[in-house]
Structure 1
Amino acid sequence: MICKDRVVVITGAGRGLGRAHALEFARQGARVVVNDLGVARDGTGGASAGPAEEVVAEIGRLGGQAVASPHDIATDEGAAALVATAIEAFGRLDVLVNNAGFLRDRMLVNLAEDEWDAVMRVHLKGHFLPLKHAGRHWRAESKAGRPVDARVVNTSSGAGLLGSVGQGNYSAAKAGIVGLTLVAAAELGRYGVTVNAIAPAARTRMTEEVFAQTMAAPAEGAFDAMAPENVSPLVVWLGSPESRDVTGRVFEVEGGRICVMDAFRHGPSVDRGARWDPAEIGAAVGDLLARAPAPEPVYGAG
């Protein structure tokens, strides 16, 4: 019960990782706002309240409290309404888990502008707007003298950290989420808010085709390393009071493995104290690269 009585908003919580997070937060005593539009895997099709309402019902059967949110969090009005839903239903907001997303995979030369825009909208803009409105609420609470012990957990991806062939739009959006996480952690810390990100690997609607092609199903009774429920314990801990000293970090999580990512850092450098001649750059860069670790391979690069 490490999140007892905390109020949690989770976007994209009708299925997959978001659903697993919602159920685990409820098991740990939180009251949950389940946000989901109920659209298809690629974001198309009409919105449906069904998936969110089903998760709310599951939480109710666990003895927990939850409400559904049908709001489009990639609009300013929808994101504001999402935060307002938590406050109206439960009187407060303690945790925001940004999880919503979908895929429009193409090789770069085949990627249409609308496929780029759609993925940027739901992943990157869909992180920014709820974060903005939750941050405004917590800033107001802090300035009013009310104590704030709030958490944001953003969802990046290994594709955003290392790149992924055929996912230029998704990789760029997920890399942007890491940058947004770092800025938000620096800006919101003064108000009592921590901001971290996860890069999960799990079997969901977005990944099931890839896993079906590359991984055998686990034997009966064996640990299913790709179950989305494996990711949720870290998310719940990051949403709990216990994580108050952790902020601005990115965690890779898969199965039973948790890895804190060592992102861009200042590496080897050279300073000649004057402007370089282009003819001298090759040798200098060659020396720098020889002293730097090799980059990890892009997913799917072979």
Structure 2
Amino acid sequence: MIDVFASADVVLAAQKIAAGEVIGLPTETVYGLAADAQNPQAVARIFALKHRPASHPLITHIAAEANIHYWLDEARMTADMTDIMNTLIDAFWPGPLTLVLPKSPAINDAVTGGQDTIALRCPDHALAQSVLHALSQLHNTPHVGIAAPSANRFGRVSPTHAQHVRDEFNGQVWVLDGDASVIGIESTIIDLTRGAPVLLRHGHITPDDIFDVTGLQPLPNDTHSPRASGTLLAHYAPATPLVWASAATALADAGCLCFSNEFDVTPFKQVIQLDDQPKNYARGLYHALRELDRAAHAQIVVEDLPVDSAWDAVRDRLKRAIVGSNEGK
């Protein structure tokens, strides 16, 4: 087994981040466009590369051994908020759960989009954790964080392979190759600053998972403002227009994304069939969308998903991708 802590590529990745560069970083969810979260100039480079509005907050990734309180304004933390935070961290970190919490005044506003909250996550990926560890050694402090939104142009399909990142930025971004992302969609985001947990983004960890450990069912988000990453109505979109199969009227020169053996694929020029289990489907979703998009079909027809809460995270991504892919067309 490779000692990832001693890997030359890990050390190089940390050195690049410490020097203010932006790199492609693997995580278990998707690849991130990563920079030192406490370097405003480096964070600005993320926004520039992604063509992302500066008012949209980024998620800060921290190490498993990090002291989360360094990042927080504890004067604005209630006892209940702290208890729920600790419960969720104990249950799901490291893992695909992002928590939105009151930001310490000491943390620069660049990474939070000017908001008084910060989105924090502890990635469950050996290479990401190793880079955080190496960065801590380079800066000689345990208080390091890596801002890492998905490594794609703003609003487009997220990357789950190192080559996706290279393709997205035409080789201009150095990428730490960590193989395929094992989850394949972005983290669940829970806002803890509103008196009760609020679900800002669906993900691998479900509202029922949150309820099971806290006894609280997350409330639905009541705003589409950019409180956190990936919450706009149009997002995750290929250049090729997407349409649900139930709404498709023309199938000529169309690609198809499906999951069931009963779905009629005979009209389509290209077919990608994903697994019929939602978490396995999610793992292959973005790669499949990129493959279909690359073929330059007139449209991509997506088999309608089951009406089942287990599919909510995938449904969320596809609904936003459909809106985004059809904007201006």
Could you state the TM-score of these two structures normalised by the residue count of structure 1?
Answer: 0.25
Q: Which has the higher contact order (CA 8 A, sep 6+)?
A: 2
Whose helix proportion is higher, 1 or 2? Answer: 1
| Higher CA-based Rg | 1
